[in-house]
Amino acid sequence: MAVALQVRNLYKRFDTDQGEVRAVEDVTFDVEAGAFFTLLGPSGCGKSTTLRCIAGLERPDDGDITLEDAVLVSSSQGMWTPPHKRPMGMVFQSYAIWPHMNVFDNVAFPLKQGPQKFSGAETRDRVLRALALVHLDGLEKRPAPQLSGGQQQRLALARALVNEPKALLLDEPLSNLDAKLREEMRNELKLLTSSLGITTLFVTHDQLEALTLSDQVAVMDSGRLVQYGPPREIYEAPRNRFAAEFIGSANFFEGAVTDAVEKGGITGVETAHGVLRCTAAEALPKGARVAVAVRPENVILHAGAPPEVHGVNVLSGTVRSVVYLGNTLDCLVDVDGALVKADVHPGEEVSEGDTVALSFKESASRVVPVGTVVAETEQAG
């Protein structure tokens, strides 16, 4: 597929009372035409600032942004396109529905005041089509402030789409909705964007939204893009500790690589609990300090600690706590002083104080670098 949006070496800094904040640091990614691309990260990680740089609402300090052959920002050429000259639609977190207009006028505004001129009939036609798309038909005359949260959200979406933009930008659009409505809108958003085939950039701090909606997810931390790829890859093969911790949860075992390894190869890591076998996300030299990340659902618990459990990655310990969560048992196992989390099938008979064995496959454990990315989520506030 063709690349629709290119972001290259984007930098943005803010001067605040507390000094300079590096909101976006050297962010580079491509979005394919028609793809649903998500920027995921905790608040203050720079994801919204990145989106606003793409929208033109912030002027980046450095970097290039290209949308379908049109250069929007190029620091080397000193080029910057103001937001109203960029063919994009945007849905804001607050929806930004103009309170002095009714539903129809809100959607008609981009057509009436925008660069292209439309006849009255065509404006009407397009507005009604956009409203029908988001199931707001029949509400044209309603004053905008009288809409419910969910309706305002749909209205904002209709307004962003009415001009047939080349890209749709969504800045945490679901965060102001209650849980049930959020799920409903999430499904609708997915259907709508895929049926329109529009290139979509979505910003969220909710990992579930990111995993369920996206073709590609980019994880950001402290202004940096720490990993990007399909949701499954992000979840199953986190490239660093932050990505592993922010999406889902993980156990970490620190240690040193026993043998040099190629990207995707299997190596051993000498940890406090012996040598663990695991998959390397990138090539590593012998002796490199790393951590082994294992998702709790990939930890197999052998109740009763049968001594005959052999093979790789076997640990033994004492069960410290068992929490019943309905579909799973959340167990904490003390392995030589380290607490290891394991999600166990609720049918398993396990209780506090049991001595058990734990194991996990080498394909289910990942080597991530240690100490590079510390979760300094507060810093970029």
Partner 1 sequence: MIGQQTTVGRAMRRGLRTDPQVLVVIGALGALLAFLVAVPLILVLWFSFRTAGPGERGGTFTVSNYVDTFLNPLTYELLINTFWFSVGSIVVGLVIGVGFAWLIERTNTPLRNFGFVSIVINSAMPAAMFAIAWVLVLNPRTGLVNLPFTAWLDWDKGPFNPNTMWAMIFVEGLRLAATIFLMVIGLFRSMDPSLEEASSMSQVGTFKTARHVTLPIMTPGILGVVVYIATSTVGVFEIPGVMGMPADIHVLATRIYLATSGVPPDYGFATSLATVAGILGVVGIFIYHRVTRIQQRFATVTGKGYRPRRIELGPTGRGISAALIILFFILTFGLPMFILFWASLIPFYQAPLPKALEFVSLDAYRFIITGPGRHEFLQGLRNSLLLILVVPALTMLLSAVVSWFVVRSRARGKAILDMLAFMPHTVPGIVMGLAWLIIGLFVLSPIYGTIWLIVIAHISLFIAYGTRTTNGAMFQIHRELEEAGAMSGAAWFSTFRSIIMPLLMPSLVAGWLWVAIHSGRELTVALLLQSSSNRIISAYVWQQFFGGRLNLAASAGVLLVLLIILLVILTRVLGQRLSRQQ
- Give the residue, chosen from 38, 48, 193, 207, that forms a contact with partner 1 under the rule CB under 8 A: 48
With binding defined as CB under 8 A, does residue 109 bind partner 1? yes
For the chain, what's the residue count?
Answer: 381
48 or 207: CB nearest partner 1:
48
Alpha helices in the chain (DSSP H): 47-55, 103-113, 120-133, 149-161, 179-196, 207-213, 231-236, 241-246
- Identify which range of 78-86, 200-208, 225-233, 324-332 contacts partner 1 by CB under 8 A: 78-86
With binding defined as CB under 8 A, does residue 84 bind partner 1? yes
The three-class DSSP label of residue 332 is strand
- The distance of closest approach from Cβ of residue 150 to partner 1 in the complex, given in angstroms and rounded to an integer, is 14
- Give the residue, chosen from 70, 76, 79, 82, that forms a contact with partner 1 under the rule CB under 8 A: 82
Could you say which residues in the range 49-68 bind partner 1, by CB under 8 A?
52, 55-58
Q: Contacts with partner 1: how many residues (CB under 8 A)?
A: 36
With binding defined as CB under 8 A, does residue 381 bind partner 1? no
With binding defined as CB under 8 A, does residue 118 bind partner 1? no
Contact track, partner 1, 259-298, x by CB under 8 A: ----------------------------------------
How many Å apart are CA 306 and CA 357, to the nearest integer? 7
DSSP state of 192: H
With binding defined as CB under 8 A, does residue 24 bind partner 1? no
With binding defined as CB under 8 A, does residue 241 bind partner 1? no
Question: For the chain, what is the radius of gyration of the CA atoms?
Answer: 25
- The distance of closest approach from Cβ of residue 84 to partner 1 in the complex, given in angstroms and rounded to an integer, is 5
- The distance of closest approach from Cβ of residue 244 to partner 1 in the complex, given in angstroms and rounded to an integer, is 27
94 or 355: CB nearest partner 1:
94
49 or 227: CB nearest partner 1:
49
Could you say which residues in the range 88-107 bind partner 1, by CB under 8 A?
88-90, 92-100
- The distance of closest approach from Cβ of residue 320 to partner 1 in the complex, given in angstroms and rounded to an integer, is 29
With binding defined as CB under 8 A, does residue 163 bind partner 1? yes
Q: 208: which residues sit within 8 A by CB, 6+ positions away?
A: none
> Max CA-CA distance within the chain?
81
Which of 263, 286, 291 is CA-nearest to residue 371? 291
With binding defined as CB under 8 A, does residue 160 bind partner 1? yes
- The distance of closest approach from Cβ of residue 113 to partner 1 in the complex, given in angstroms and rounded to an integer, is 4
> Tokens 């958003």 label which residue?
189
- Give the residue, chosen from 28, 81, 176, 258, that forms a contact with partner 1 under the rule CB under 8 A: 176
- Beta strands across the sheet bearing 224-229: 88-91, 167-171, 199-204, 36-40, 216-221, 224-229
- The distance of closest approach from Cβ of residue 93 to partner 1 in the complex, given in angstroms and rounded to an integer, is 5
- The distance of closest approach from Cβ of residue 83 to partner 1 in the complex, given in angstroms and rounded to an integer, is 4
**CA torsion angle 242 246 247 252 (round to 10):** 60
Q: For the chain, how many helices (H) and strands (E)?
A: 8, 21
- The distance of closest approach from Cβ of residue 20 to partner 1 in the complex, given in angstroms and rounded to an integer, is 16
Q: Helix, strand, coil proportions of the chain in percent (round to 5)?
A: 25, 35, 40
> Tokens 């103001």 label which residue?
82
Question: How would you label 245-273 residue by residue, b for 16+ Cβ within 10 Å and e otherwise?
Answer: bbbbebbbbebebeeebeeeebbbbebeb
With binding defined as CB under 8 A, does residue 159 bind partner 1? yes
Other CB atoms within a 10 A radius of the CB of residue 102 amount to 18
With binding defined as CB under 8 A, does residue 229 bind partner 1? no
- Give the residue, chosen from 86, 205, 273, 366, that forms a contact with partner 1 under the rule CB under 8 A: 86
> Tokens 């004053």 label which residue?
143
With binding defined as CB under 8 A, does residue 135 bind partner 1? no
Q: Provide the binding-site residues for partner 1, judged by CB under 8 A.
A: 48, 52, 55-58, 82-90, 92-100, 109-110, 113-115, 145, 156, 159-160, 163, 169, 176
